[in-house]
Every structure is written in C-alpha cells, then in structure tokens.
Amino acid sequence: MAQSKSSATSTLTGVGGRVAIVDALRTPFARIATHFREHNVVDLGAMAVAELAARNNLSATDIDQIIFGQTIMASGTQFIGREVALACGMPDVDAYSVTRACATSFQTTANATESILLGRADVVVAGGADSTSDAPIPVSKKLAAALRDANFAKTMSQRVKILSRLRPKDLLPTAPAITEFSTGLLMGESAEQMAKSWNVSRAEQDDIAHASHSNAARAWAEGRMDDFVISAFLDDGKGGTRPLREDNLVRGNSQREGYDKLRPVFDKKLGTVTAANASPLTDGGAAMVLMSEERAKALGHQPLAYIRGYSFAAKTPETDLLMGPVLATPAALEQAGVTLKDLDLVDMHEAFAAQIACNLRGLASRDYIRKWTGRDKAVGEVDTSKLNVNGGSIAYGHPFGATGARVIGQTAHELKRRGGGLALTTACAAGGIGAAMVIESA
C-alpha cells in the first residue's frame, strides 16, 4: 500500500514535532460476568498499562503522565488514572482521570496529544477500561434514603424507627441499565428510534453485525490481533494463574441465518435491534503510549502512527442520540487537511448496527451536515470495503472506557501492517457526543 495519499503534511505539530502513537494494546475483551468477573476496572487498566510499559522498556521515570478513563463508577475505583499508576508500581507518575462516556479514551488520547504538543510532556500513557461485571447494583431510592438516614441517626431507636418504614419491595435491587440521564431512554431505545427515523431495516443491521463478526474472526485468524491483544493472567483456582489470550465474544462461526431468528430487545413488537446487532456488555482495558516525535526517535522507537487531527462535537440528545461521528468528522478531516476520499480506512465504533447505518447516511447527507455543523458539503459516501475491516464493537464488545483506545490502537496497528495509509477513527457517545480522530501511518 502506498503512503498516505494526501500530499499535505500534518499540521498537528508541536515543540517536539508530531505526536506519535508508539504502541497500543488491549486486554482480551470478555462478555460480562465471564473471565473478568473477579476483576475490577483498575485491574483491567493496570494489566494494559503494565504490559505497555514492559513491552516498550518504559520505567516510571520515562513516563510523564498517565491519563485514563472509565465510565462505570464502581465503588472505590473512581480515580482510575491514579489507581492504575499505583497498581503498576508507578507511585511517582502523575496521573488523572477523564470521562466522556463511550468516547472516554478518545478524550484521554486527545489530552495526551495536547500535553505533548504544548511541550508539557514527552511520554504519556492514555487509555481506558470498564468492568460491566463490577457495576454497582443500585438499590431503591427508599432503601438508599433509609440507609443514609440510619447511618447518621444518633440512637439505636432512631435507627430502628427509620428502617422499620421499609417494605419488602424496597429491599429489592434495581437492575443496572444503560440509560441516557437527560431523556431516561435506554441506549437501545435510542438506537430503535434512529433505525425507524432513518429507515434502517433489520436486514441491513444484521448484515453490518455479521460483517463485524466475520471481519473480527478473520483478523484473529490472520494474526492481526497478535501485537494488539495481550494475554491476561487469571486465577487458576490452585494458587497460580492461567493465561487468557482471546476475546470470548467474537463469533468465528457467525452464520447470517442465525441473526434472523433473534427477537428484538428494546421494542419487542415493532423493533429491529437484537442481541446480535447491538454491542454486548463487556469487560476490558486498552492503553496506548504517545510520545513527541523527537522523543520517540531519541528512544529508538518506530511508531505505529501519528495523530493528524481530531475533533469532538455534540448535539441535542432527545432524538438521533448516536449521530456524534457525523458531527465530529468534518472538523477532524479539516484539521488533518484531508477529505474522505484520501482515507484508506474508516474505523467507527459500533454501538449498534442501526447507529452505523444512520452515521453512514448522515455523513453522505448534505442537509444533515448543514443542519448540525453549518458546513455546506456532505462528508461523502463511505466506501464500506474500508469500514471496520478488522471488526468492531459488535463483535469484540464495548468496555465503554476502553473502546476509544481499542478503535484508535487497532487502526494504528492496521496502518503499520499495511505499511502506509491514512485513517479516520470515530465514536458516538452518550449525551449526543461524537469524537473523531485522523491518524496517519508512520
């Protein structure tokens, strides 16, 4: 493959040159309550960061900062950036946490990029993790209020009086749900609304999901995940550990007929979103090490890719919640000085197959781009042979905080494997947010 088709060189340069993605990796991704059921989010992040440091001969003194994110705030692990640094034995490394829903590790990567461009850091670890298995199980509002009041009660009789007001039904836990706070809608309900508004059929969604699994299975079979997915070490129950090497959500034997049999989940009567064409609940972590071009050269690293432009954008969440990639992409392409035609790869986070179909329609729609970005030109029709070539979140899963680093890192490895090229990576997120980042091969 030829080098990046655009003749323009990156405008995204700072005091140390461009920003290099020197390495990227992730843990295997596991379905909720399976391999990582005993691990919390810090474990998952630390697995990725510790291996990243070891693989790149980075000691704590080499790393200026760790920027990490999570979206599920499990008890006691809210400060994941710092907790990961400590868990990796790097108490002297400055660290902080960022959250931006499903675009969280797009943001940690952007923050790392900005620190490097400004010359405030030369080596930054960015990434994210989430454990859906360790999500807090909410209790009823009545139980929460009673426990709070009982905790602050002065006497035992006051405590007993408060707790005696509870009824058996108040004691039942509430199932955790992925709900948009401002609208009260489940993400899957928003995907249903989008499928209906943009006329996305069930068959189109199932084709996208089947392609995701087929591409992911092929990527694994061809060794394309070998440098990206690390082994995780799990308790073997005998006082030792056993290695976990592979994801457990990718369906190597994905059969298109199998998709037709599933019933819709979020609109049981008229819906089209099923367990097969939605991203599943997942545990995992991902991390990248970014360096200034000068520092990467000085340390003798051959980067995977360079960051060429990025953007974040937002829209009202009431309808079309997951259209963020359409809003963020134009500015990212502009900053990178390229157009859709220049791209060799497009990697778009698959929250739902319906969202992918709607995002592709939006990118091709001049009216939609004009309405939401004020620009007068559509981004264009994405060539689907360049889209998610190694599979996406429907197949791999979607540990929310890790997904951005998974998408960017997977694409950076693919550019390196191809020996050249230019790629758009993008994700939708809760709140009507979108992230887009253009990377070029090193």
Question: Does residue 279 interact with ligand ACO by CB under 6 A?
Answer: yes
Q: Tell me the per-residue interface mask from 55 to 94 with ligand ACO, x by CB under 6 A, - otherwise.
A: ----------------------------------------
Segment near ligand ACO (CB under 6 A); pick from 164-172, 217-225, 275-283, 414-422 = 275-283
What is the C-alpha to C-alpha distance for residues 118 and 72, in angstroms, rounded to an integer?
31
Residues 6+ apart with CB under 8 A from 382: 340, 346, 360, 363, 364
Question: Does residue 202 interact with ligand ACO by CB under 6 A?
Answer: no
Of 57, 275, 371, 375, the residue at the interface with ligand ACO (CB under 6 A) is: 275
**Phi and psi, residue 265, nearest 5°:** -100, -40
Q: How far is it between the farthest Cα atoms of the chain? A: 78
Question: Does residue 429 interact with ligand ACO by CB under 6 A?
Answer: yes
Give catalytic status of residue 358 as yes or no: no
Between 27 and 279, name the residue whose CB sits nearer to ligand ACO.
Answer: 279
Of 47, 95, 353, 430, the residue at the interface with ligand ACO (CB under 6 A) is: 430
Closest residue to ligand ACO, judged by C-beta, is 351
For 29-82, strand residue ranges (E) read 30-31, 65-69
363-371 — which CB contacts under 8 Å span 24+ positions? 363/325, 363/326, 363/329, 368/323, 368/326, 369/326, 369/330
Tokens 């929310």 map to which residue? 400
Segment near ligand ACO (CB under 6 A); pick from 35-43, 75-83, 240-248, 422-430 = 422-430
Torsion, CA 10, CA 380, CA 423, CA 295, rounded to 10:
20
3-state secondary structure of 201: coil
Count of residues of this chain found to bind ligand ACO when the rule CB under 6 A is applied: 24
Segment near ligand ACO (CB under 6 A); pick from 19-27, 86-94, 325-333, 425-433 = 425-433
Residues 6+ apart with CB under 8 A from 82: 66, 95, 96, 97
- Tokens representing 368 are 């939609």
Which amino acid does the sequence have at 137?
I
Q: Are strands 433-441 and 422-429 parallel, antiparallel or unpaired?
A: antiparallel
- Which residues within the stretch 351-370 sit at the binding site for ligand ACO (CB under 6 A)? 351
Of 60, 178, 299, 314, the residue at the interface with ligand ACO (CB under 6 A) is: 178
Between 188 and 303, name the residue whose CB sits nearer to ligand ACO.
Answer: 188
Between 21 and 281, name the residue whose CB sits nearer to ligand ACO.
Answer: 281
- Which residues within the stretch 313-332 sit at the binding site for ligand ACO (CB under 6 A)? 322
Number of CB atoms found within 10 A of residue 341's CB: 9
Choosing from 210, 213, 301, 398, which is the catalytic residue? 398
- Tokens representing 345 are 């790869």
Between 230 and 435, name the residue whose CB sits nearer to ligand ACO.
Answer: 435
Residues 6+ apart with CB under 8 A from 92: 60, 61
Between 42 and 428, name the residue whose CB sits nearer to ligand ACO.
Answer: 428
Number of CB atoms found within 10 A of residue 312's CB: 20
Give catalytic status of residue 398 as yes or no: yes
CB of 284 to ligand ACO, least distance (A): 14
In contact, 72 and 102? CB cutoff 8 Å: no
- Which residues within the stretch 233-272 sit at the binding site for ligand ACO (CB under 6 A)? 251, 254, 258-259, 262, 265
Measured at the CA of 407, the angle between CA 406 and CA 408, to 5 degrees, comes to 95
Between 162 and 278, name the residue whose CB sits nearer to ligand ACO.
Answer: 278
Choosing from 88, 102, 210, 413, which is the catalytic residue? 102
Question: Does residue 398 interact with ligand ACO by CB under 6 A?
Answer: yes
In contact, 29 and 247? CB cutoff 8 Å: yes
CB of 424 to ligand ACO, least distance (A): 17
Between 93 and 429, name the residue whose CB sits nearer to ligand ACO.
Answer: 429
Cα atoms in the Cβ-side hemisphere of radius 13 Å centred on 56:
32
Active site residues: 102, 398, 428
Task: Give contact residues for ligand ACO (rule: CB under 6 A).
Answer: 102, 178, 187-188, 209, 213, 251, 254, 258-259, 262, 265, 275-276, 278-281, 322, 351, 398, 428-430
